[in-house]
A and B are shown apart, each in its own frame.
Chain A
Amino acid sequence: MDGGSVLEIIGKEIIGVMAPVSICMFLVVLLVYTVFNPSTAADATIAVRTAANLIYLESPTDSTTQKLEGAVLNAIVFVAIITVVTFVLVLLYYYRFTNFLIYYTRFSVFLIFSTMGSMILISIIERFNIPVDAVTFYVLLFNFTVLGTVSVFSNGVPIIVKQSTMVLLGIIVAAWFSRLPEWTTWVVLVALALYDLVAVLAPGGPLKLLVELASSREEELPALVYESRPTVARSPGSSARDSSLGLLVAPGLGMNDHSSSQGVELQELLASRINNNNSNVIGIQEREVGHHTVMNHGEIEEAVVDLEERSPLVTRLSTDHNSNVNNNGDRGHGDITAGNENQVSRGNDDENTMGDNAESGSSRGIKLGMGDFIFYSVLVGRAAMYDLMTVYACYLAIISGLGCTLILLAVCRHALPALPISIALGVIFYFLTRLLMEPFVVGVSVNLMMF
């Protein structure tokens, strides 16, 4: 008896995405609370002029309508800038300037780590009076920056380094964004959620074009995405178990759940890349086997493009795939979820980080764009500036929105915007908590009356 139960399989992919998002949010809240706390006079007077503040710089003495108008204007300008940049990105990608995009992304990662990251580090050092000398600081910063820049697009770096780099990037940019004034932050967040919805789902939307271009060329987008590669200890004798989320959700929708139709779903995705299979069984097995490092054959390295995984797979079909099960644990290859070719895009600009789609990658687990990380953390960071209760409420709202988006992803099987649901829930919960719940809970519990 292998002792495994269904509970251990389901939800691994979701947790693989939720954990880094939670870590990012937690660290941003910590940063905002300890270092960037706007209640200190010094921070309140520093008005950061960013792309989001071009028109209107909020000051506490303005009237409400003025703040609202200014914030809306700021948001419109911000979204317009992002749209223009995304279209430029689409054009560049269309004309195959991919290398330029990759180098530019690396450059912007370098800048983010070295300038913005170092400023945050310096404020931390000042705040906690850490005794560190300048030489050590620069050496460490340089090392760290170079490691981060290299790990972003390189395939030879361990996945954990890549994931940590992504999370750190998200933290740094989110900490900077949370310095925006309050009204502007909320309106910009809402505007970005709407923009994301349009850009990914509408027929002319730039992100949708980008995704289609990338999938038609069968390349990965040169963008900053977080990939989670869940590892699953697979028990013998199981066939199409990969997309546990997809299998879980699909029958609930009344889809035909015997193996041939599953093979069909998977196959149409793999057909373009695997041209020597013509039966359902092979389709399923290839899909599941192909994304483990084939340790026994030693032919495949870690992060290999799917096309190269074809040949060993055919020979593997005759062997049972029990043997390659447990030694893949920490190599980072694992299930794919709904297994389709969706991409995530990210426009590159120091502050205009966008590209907020969630996708289920073909070989790599779920991918989430950096823009999502950043804007979730900005929302939570802004909630932290009011009180911790709003932080918990917004955290729960965002996580549940992310979960809903992931479930929708398993159902819809194409690129989905990850921002709208979470941001909508987050904003609603923030205002509900701030206006309604907090006075109630504080009023009740100060009297030591709880339920």
Chain B
Amino acid sequence: MTVAAGVGYALLALGPSLSLFLAVISRKPFLVLTLLSSTLVWLMSLIALSAVWRPFIPFKTAASWPYAIVIITSVACQEALRILWWRLYKKMEEILDAFADRVSKPRLFVTDKMQIALAGGMGHGVAHAVFFCISLLTPAFGPATYYTEKCSRIPFFLLSALIALAFVTIHTFSMVIAFSGHADGNRTDQYFAPVVHLTSGMLTLINLASGGCIIGIPLLYVVAAITLAYCSKVVWRRLSANANRIRQANLH
């Protein structure tokens, strides 16, 4: 539906990430590199998954359980990747700290670490938005629009943009939670990200039912809001713990 609509859909999915990028990530080149590499890692996981599932994909049955299996395996794969990402990050942290010592700059702050986690999460989110929403938007720049059968009152592009926005939020902030959980050894935080990812993946299965998107998408946004709230709680906790630690250290 014309260029304006196409750009609108793209901004709907990626607008908040764009502003986050300009405000936080583009200031520090290292964060941009982190974003790019986590996007690449997500893409590679997607290619691997599609290599596995490609022979099966236009599913012959109308039942939803094959899709459930697809989602479970995909989420499992990506969560495994998150753990791998965490290990890589630990190594990177050591290298960065050694570098900081050598150039006599301060070591990584807590905020730095959280920003790296944010950039990593945003890479995943942006990759999701790009591959699941933006790359399908090409027809939206033309003169017509497209409706799916299961959800026939809202254009498909709008639906995918809304879902992509929710997922971007979920991916971005659950990475921060996961990293701080792994850093502190907090079990709740560590399990939060996979659980939320799986839940949100399963929630999209509701969209398979006719008219299900009216329930599925708001629920997805509820999950995204929960992720945001929990992330702010985790960050607050970490920052105040850090401030306490510094105050204690200064007292001695």
Contact = CB atoms under 8 A, between A and B. Distances in A.
Interface stretch (A141-149, A346-354, A393-401): A393-401
Contacts of B164: 450
B224 interface: no
A436 interface: yes
A446 interface: yes
B138 interface: yes
B177 interface: no
Nearest to B135: A389
B71 A451 contact: yes
Contacts, number: 181
Given A251-B95, A445-B133, A448-B216, 9 more contacts: A6-B112, A7-B96, A15-B33, A241-B103, A251-B98, A437-B131, A439-B54, A448-B156, A448-B204
Given A393-B43, A446-B148, A451 B75 contact: yes
13 contacts: A6-B106, A6-B107, A7-B31, A15-B33, A235-B105, A248-B95, A399-B40, A439-B54, A448-B151, A448-B208, A450-B128, A450-B160, A450-B163
Contacts of B167: 450-451
B5 to A, nearest CB: 16
Given A5-B109, A436-B51, A450 B132 contact: yes
Nearest to B130: A392
Contact of A7 (B28, B104, B150, B160): B28
Given A439-B57, A443-B58, A12 B135 contact: no
A290 interface: no
Interface of A: 4-12, 14-15, 18, 235, 237-241, 244, 247-248, 251-252, 257, 387-389, 391-393, 396-397, 399-400, 403, 429, 432-433, 436-437, 439-451
B99 interface: yes
B204 A403 contact: no
A12 B29 contact: yes
Contacts of A239: 103-104
Contacts of A244: 99, 103
A436 B148 contact: no
Nearest to A428: B47
A392 B204 CA distance: 24
Interface residues of B, number: 71
B103 A400 contact: no
Contacts of B205: 449
Contact of B74 (A6, A241, A439, A451): A451
B30 interface: yes
**What secondary structure prevails in chain B residues at the interface with A?**
helix
A447 to B, nearest CB: 6
A403 B103 contact: no
A433 B49 CA distance: 12
A246 B97 CA distance: 15
Contact of B197 (A14, A388, A393, A451): A451
B108 interface: yes
A11 B71 contact: no
A6 B100 contact: yes
A400 B54 contact: no
B96 A10 contact: yes
A6 B29 contact: no
List the 7 closest A-B pairs by CB distance, nearest first.
A440-B50, A389-B135, A448-B207, A11-B29, A451-B201, A15-B29, A6-B100
B150 A389 contact: no
A62 B74 CA distance: 40
Contacts of B116: 7
Contacts of A429: 43, 47
A235 B100 CA distance: 13
A97 B244 CA distance: 69
A444 B133 CA distance: 12
